[in-house]
Amino acid sequence: MSRNRSIPRARETATRSKRKRLSQNFLTDAGTARMVVRSSGVTRDDLVLEPGPGDGALTRHLVGTARRVLAYEKDPRYAERLRRRYAGDDRIRCHHADFRDVTPPREPFAVVANVPYNVTTDIVRWCLAARTLSSATLVTQLEFARKHTGDFGRWTKLAVVEWPWTAFELGPRIGRRSFHPVPRVDSALLHLKRRPEPLLPRSATGEYRRLVELGFTGVGGSLAASLRRAHPARRVDRACAAAGVARDAPVGLVPPDRWARLFLALH
């Protein structure tokens, strides 16, 4: 009797262990799922890609909102479950695949997802590299969303590098009790939105990124000091003044919109 009872417990333990390895914290609150999809701004005209749908908490709302949904699930059990659930529904296709290996569509699309914590940066980078992406609405750890949107008063190099072409915005906070298994920390929405009018032309991407790399070396204790390693001091000082950047400002405290102005003043 006790041995028979141990079998389900063993399976449950194995399932939890796999979820932990894949950082799967499934969204279980229906109201929160509706809020995420509503916040994405997805309409009937949109193609939506969903990485890591899991048991489909967001998927069911996306199918009723978007023109078409392409879901990519790494766990074969959940991929097959979604395939069976939506068999015959032309509005959605469910693929057993690692989203990071997916080729972006040629047509404009949005991404909406409850992102596994251990691949958050990979998913964000994938989105930023996809030229046809219009927006991404990602459920991430609260700290990750705050860090990349300047909510701590500092800015990351990733946000600064992409800022001329993509806006990073902090969305609503999501309590950890909205997930199962319950994670140790709260989550939040991170919005990535392509700018209809970029702050810099795409042709300037390489030079701009080299400027950011130079600035983030941290040499000299300030952004201006780092830039003086490659540019004349007077030129740097004039550019900082034009961009509203204090000469002694640490690199992380310089807002990303001022980086674009700084680049234009230097070039």
CATH at 17? 3.40.50.150
Q: Write the pLDDT tens digit of every residue in 77-91.
A: 999 999 999 999 999
155 and 246: one domain? no
155 and 206: one domain? no
Report the pLDDT averaged over residues 185-190: 98
Domain that holds residue 217: 202-266
85 and 173: one domain? yes
Least confident range from 6-20, 140-154, 209-223: namely: 6-20
Predicted confidence (pLDDT) at residue 18 exceeds the cutoff of 60: no
**Residue listed under structure tokens 């390693």:** 229
151 and 70: one domain? yes
127 and 236: one domain? no
Predicted confidence (pLDDT) at residue 53 exceeds the cutoff of 60: yes
Report the pLDDT averaged over residues 120-148: 98
CATH number of the structural domain spanning residue 245: 1.10.8
188 and 74: one domain? yes
pLDDT for 4 equals 45
Decide if 90 is inside a domain.
Answer: yes
pLDDT for 220 equals 85
140 and 234: one domain? no
Decide if 1 is inside a domain.
Answer: no
Predicted confidence (pLDDT) at residue 7 exceeds the cutoff of 70: no
- Domain end among 194, 217, 238: 194
Decide if 2 is inside a domain.
Answer: no
Report the pLDDT averaged over residues 29-44: 98
pLDDT for 262 equals 97
104 and 27: one domain? yes
% residues pLDDT > 90 (the chain): 88
Decide if 261 is inside a domain.
Answer: yes
Predicted confidence (pLDDT) at residue 19 exceeds the cutoff of 60: no
206 and 168: one domain? no
- Domain end among 161, 194, 227: 194
> In terms of pTM, does the model score above 0.85?
yes
17 and 107: one domain? yes
Decide if 174 is inside a domain.
Answer: yes
23 and 117: one domain? yes
pLDDT for 23 equals 60
